[in-house]
Amino acid sequence: MASLQNSPTKTLFLDSLPQLQKHSTLPCCRRGGISFLVKDAQAAMSSTGSLSQDRPGRRQMLAVGTVAPWVVIFNQNSKSFAAETKKGFQLVTDQKDGYEFLYPFGWQEVIIEGQDKVFKDVIEPLENVSVNLIPTSKLDIRDIGPPQEIAETLIKRVLAPPSQKTKLIEAVQHDVDGKAYYTFEFTAQAPNYTRHALGTVSIGNGKFYTLTTGANERRWEKMKDKLHTVVDSFKIFNV
């Protein structure tokens, strides 16, 4: 799964007027100056648990027993990456698409249509991390808009279905090795649960990267430090 637009049934394109190049003639939905071209985006994202209840009958996922040649997962005892890896976490490095991040030890990798990389807790499925990639001609996330505008649009149009009540708590910019990232925190309330989530977005290698992670609100206090570690560890490198 290289990116969302490669999914045969689920397509999401960030357009942002001229900021992100257009890939489709689908009707676009505009909000806050950012335009998204969406075809069933909710369904494309829901299997991670960030958009709906995680029931086995509704998930389309397959546990991964092997790792693709361009993705290398280093355990916490790896000497080469000892400085980057924290105790209780594992490092995943995607050499093909140029990104890396930490995820809590014990989470399992699953394959979900429309997403580049997903790891989740098999007992608490709302606790997961996913990465999505979308081609773009822009070179910097700041060329699209400010943090709050980008975050609100992603949350309302991509990361939560219209049926859920969402709230953006915070959206900030930070730089890593001279590259700008937008990191945000939000909640999405469904009828029978509330997901408390974190996300980060950036641009590099001709791609718009989105990493999201979260947990059920009832476990937020227990999980928030780990989830912040996941978000803060996300890094793009040149390929």
Domain map of the chain by residue range? 4-236
Residues 50-77: tens digit of each pLDDT: 433 444 433 343 333 333 334 444 443 4
Q: What is the pLDDT of residue 86?
A: 85
DSSP string for 19-73: TS-----S-EEEETTEEEEEESHHHHHHTTSSSS---TTT--EEE-SS--TTEEE
Residues 118-176: tens digit of each pLDDT: 999 999 999 999 999 999 999 999 999 999 999 999 999 999 999 999 999 999 999 99
Mean pLDDT for the chain?
Answer: 75
Residue 32 in this model has a pLDDT that exceeds 70? no
Given 3.40.1000.10, 3.40.640.10, 3.40.50.720, 3.40.50.2300, which CATH number is that of 4-236?
A: 3.40.1000.10
| Higher per-residue pLDDT: 191 or 43 | 191
Distance, in Å, from the CA atom of 147 to the CA atom of 181, rounded to the nearest integer, reads 9
